[in-house]
C-alpha cells in the first residue's frame, strides 16, 4: 500500500504550477483479437488533495495488478467522481480494421487521440492564439496557453502525435492519473470483449479477452479466424507453433 501512495505523490509533483494533469494509457495492444482501447483521465490539484485521493487513491494501481472486481469497483467510484465534477474521464477505441490498416502503434495513437478529444480538442493545446511580435507588451505579457495542463502518456513519448505530452515509462505504476486511465481502458475493453464473446461464441473472449492463451490458440485451430482477429498477429504467433497447412487453414477461415 505505501508504494501505491507514491502514485499520488508523483502527480502532486507533476501538477505544480498547472491547473490539471491528464493521464493516458491503453489496453489490448498485445491481444490477438478485438480493438485497442485507450483511457484518459483529467485530474486537478484540488482532486489530488481531496479526501478521496488521500484515503481511497491507494486502491488505484496499474490495471494489470488489479482483479476484475477491483477494477469494476474503482470504475464505479470514478463515475461518482465524474458526476461531482472532481475528475473527467473518457475512452477511445480503434477497431481491428484500423489496426490492420495503421499497424498497432498507429491504431494505439488513434485510440489515445480519440480518448483525449473527449476531454479537450487538440487545438486547445497549441498556441495558435499567441500574440505575434507586433502585439503590445501588455498583450504578450497577458498571454497564457489555452489549457494549463500537462499530458502524461504511459511509456515512451509518441512521435507525430497531435497533443504535446510527456512519456512516463511504466507510468501506470508511477502516476495516479495514468493508473486511473489504465483502469478506464481495461474495464472498457473487457466489456467490449464480453459483448464480442456473444457475437463470436466458442473462442472464449469473455475469459481471455482476446489474448493468446492456450485456450484461445486451441479455439483458433478448431474454428479458424473470426473477423475480430488480427491477421498479422496470428501469423506471427502461429509461424512458430503451427505447420504450414494449419497456417493456410487459419488464413482462409472467416466467420
For the beta carbon of residue 169, count every other beta carbon within 10 angstroms: 10
In a domain, 203, yes or no: no
| Same domain for 143 and 52 | yes
Query: What pLDDT does 139 receive?
Result: 56
| Same domain for 179 and 212 | no
| Same domain for 151 and 44 | yes
Summarize pLDDT for 207-217 with one digit per residue, the tens.
999 999 999 99
In this prediction the pTM is 0.86
Residues 6+ apart with CB under 8 A from 202: 219, 222, 223
Summarize pLDDT for 163-213 with one digit per residue, the tens.
999 999 999 999 999 999 999 999 999 999 999 999 999 999 999 999 999
Summarize pLDDT for 135-158 with one digit per residue, the tens.
565 654 554 555 689 999 999 999
Q: Are 189 and 174 in contact (CB under 8 A)?
A: no
| Same domain for 191 and 130 | yes
**How would you classify residue 26: left for phi > 0, otherwise alpha for psi between -120 and 50, otherwise beta?**
beta
Q: What is the domain extent for residue 71?
A: 2-195
In a domain, 134, yes or no: yes
| Same domain for 161 and 238 | no
| Same domain for 173 and 233 | no
* Domains contained in the chain, number: 2
| Same domain for 190 and 135 | yes
| Same domain for 233 and 190 | no
Summarize pLDDT for 119-140 with one digit per residue, the tens.
988 877 754 455 455 656 565 4
| Same domain for 239 and 172 | no
Is residue 100 classed exposed, middle or buried when 0-12, 13-18 and 19+ CB atoms within 10 A define those classes? middle
In a domain, 221, yes or no: yes
Q: Are 141 and 148 in contact (CB under 8 A)?
A: no
Distances (CA, A) of 26 to 17, 50, 108, 134, 253: 27, 26, 7, 43, 29
Residue 245 has pLDDT above 60, yes or no: no
In a domain, 201, yes or no: no
In a domain, 202, yes or no: no
Q: Given pLDDT bands bounded at 50, 70 and 90, which one contains residue 247?
A: very low
Amino acid at each position: 500500500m505505501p508504494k501505491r501512495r507514491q502514485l499520488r505523490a508523483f502527480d502532486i509533483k507533476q501538477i505544480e504550477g498547472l491547473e490539471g494533469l491528464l493521464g493516458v494509457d491503453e489496453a489490448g495492444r498485445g491481444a490477438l483479437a478485438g480493438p485497442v482501447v485507450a483511457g484518459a483521465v483529467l485530474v486537478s490539484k484540488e482532486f489530488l488533495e481531496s479526501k478521496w485521493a488521500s484515503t481511497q487513491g491507494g486502491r488505484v494501481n496499474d490495471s494489470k495488478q488489479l482483479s476484475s472486481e477491483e477494477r469494476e469497483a474503482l470504475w464505479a467510484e470514478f463515475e461518482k467522481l465524474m458526476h461531482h465534477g472532481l475528475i473527467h474521464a473518457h475512452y477511445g477505441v480503434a477497431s481491428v480494421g484500423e489496426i490492420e490498416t495503421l499497424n498497432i502503434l498507429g491504431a494505439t495513437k488513434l485510440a489515445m487521440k480519440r480518448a483525449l478529444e473527449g476531454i479537450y480538442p487538440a487545438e486547445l493545446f497549441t498556441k495558435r492564439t499567441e500574440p505575434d511580435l507586433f502585439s503590445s507588451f501588455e498583450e504578450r505579457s497577458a498571454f497564457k496557453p489555452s489549457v494549463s495542463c500537462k499530458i502524461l502518456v504511459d511509456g515512451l513519448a509518441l512521435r507525430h502525435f497531435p497533443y504535446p505530452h510527456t512519456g512516463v515509462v511504466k507510468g501506470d505504476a508511477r502516476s495516479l492519473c495514468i493508473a486511473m486511465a489504465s483502469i478506464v481502458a481495461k474495464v472498457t475493453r473487457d466489456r467490449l470483449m464480453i459483448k464480442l464473446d456473444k457475437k463470436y461464441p466458442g473462442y472464449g473472449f469473455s475469459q481471455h479477452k482476446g489474448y493468446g492463451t492456450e485456450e484461445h490458440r486451441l479455439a483458433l485451430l478448431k474454428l479458424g479466424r473470426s473477423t475480430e482477429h488480427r491477421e498479422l498477429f496470428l501469423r506471427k504467433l502461429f509461424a512458430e507453433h503451427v505447420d504450414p497447412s494449419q497456417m493456410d487453414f487459419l488464413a482462409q477461415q472467416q466467420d
